[in-house]
Amino acid sequence: MSPSRIFFNQLFSAVFAPTVQKKVENLTLLLAGVGFVIHLLLIFFKNQGWVFFAPLYPELLTDPIAAIYTPFSLILVYEVYLLLFYLPRSFTSCVSKQFEIISLIVIRKIFKDIPAMDLVGDWMHSDHNMELLIDLTGFLLLFLLIYLFNRSKQRLPKRPIDDPKLLRFISSKKIVSVVLLIVLGTMSISTFGQWFLDVINQQKIAQLDGLFFNQFFTLLILADVIILLISFRYTEEYAKLIRNTGFIIATILIRLSFSAEGYLATFLILTGVSFALLILQIYNAMENPKQGSTA
């Protein structure tokens, strides 16, 4: 193993060590609690008229329920950290974690939209109410699809971890994971800094729900493609290559959902997860054909 490969593998072990993961988890929970309290205070100050700057996101300062948006955002950052930990394990486990992240993003948006429901006029003729209803239904379907995907994932054949080709492939994915962590860390600091400056200058940022995660899924697509190309060195299995390519298509569809508006965003997410589930089931059928057929 080359010195650079050894360095990145040791760095991966250090960054994602169990003790480090526990510290990151505790810090995330602490920041989530503090962020929740601060958000509640901002809502209280707004209701009392003690606002020192024009509210840039009025939908987040109208009701205490909207304060859940802040801790969910911080928990999502921790989930991204865990995703990078799962990245070297298997393509399927990584994709499953991606789906969990997008489900949390959807539920975070629902918490933001609930306080803005129109309860006075004709409920069914309110565009906001209908969009919220679509999001709620979409979340239930997404939750079901993730369950089916994880159940299908359990049927995958297990390869011995001492396989030299597999160990080298895992080592290469650890390098991708560490590099992606560095890039995402830099990008998150830059994004937060730009967001803070926009708040100070009272400039509203479009697509608040996709802030950071829009760029995150773009980088994730690139990382998936790199891993797919690396996999060509270690496997020539047609079914596995098609499966991994299908997962990348699913990630692309999810990425496009951040640029879409209204019902189309939910449709793209459900389409991406459904496509990945179908790909996985076809792969399982090819790798684990039913036994007992007679010649």
Whether the predicted pLDDT of 204 surpasses 70: no
Q: Is 30's pLDDT higher than 90?
A: yes
Integer Rg of the chain from CA: 22
Q: Is pLDDT larger for residue 262 or for residue 225?
A: 225
Summarised one tens digit per residue, pLDDT across range 209-231 is: 667 788 888 888 888 888 888 88
pLDDT at residue number 291: 42
Average pLDDT, the chain: 83
Are 201 and 242 in contact, with CB atoms under 8 Å apart?
Answer: no
Please state, in angstroms and rounded to a whole number, the distance separating the CA atoms of residues 167 and 154: 21
For residue 293, the model assigns a pLDDT of 40
Query: What integer pLDDT is reported at residue 149 of this predicted model?
Result: 95
CB contact at 8 A, 262 and 131: yes
Q: Cβ distance 66 to 111 under 8 Å?
A: yes
pLDDT given for residue 57 in this prediction: 66
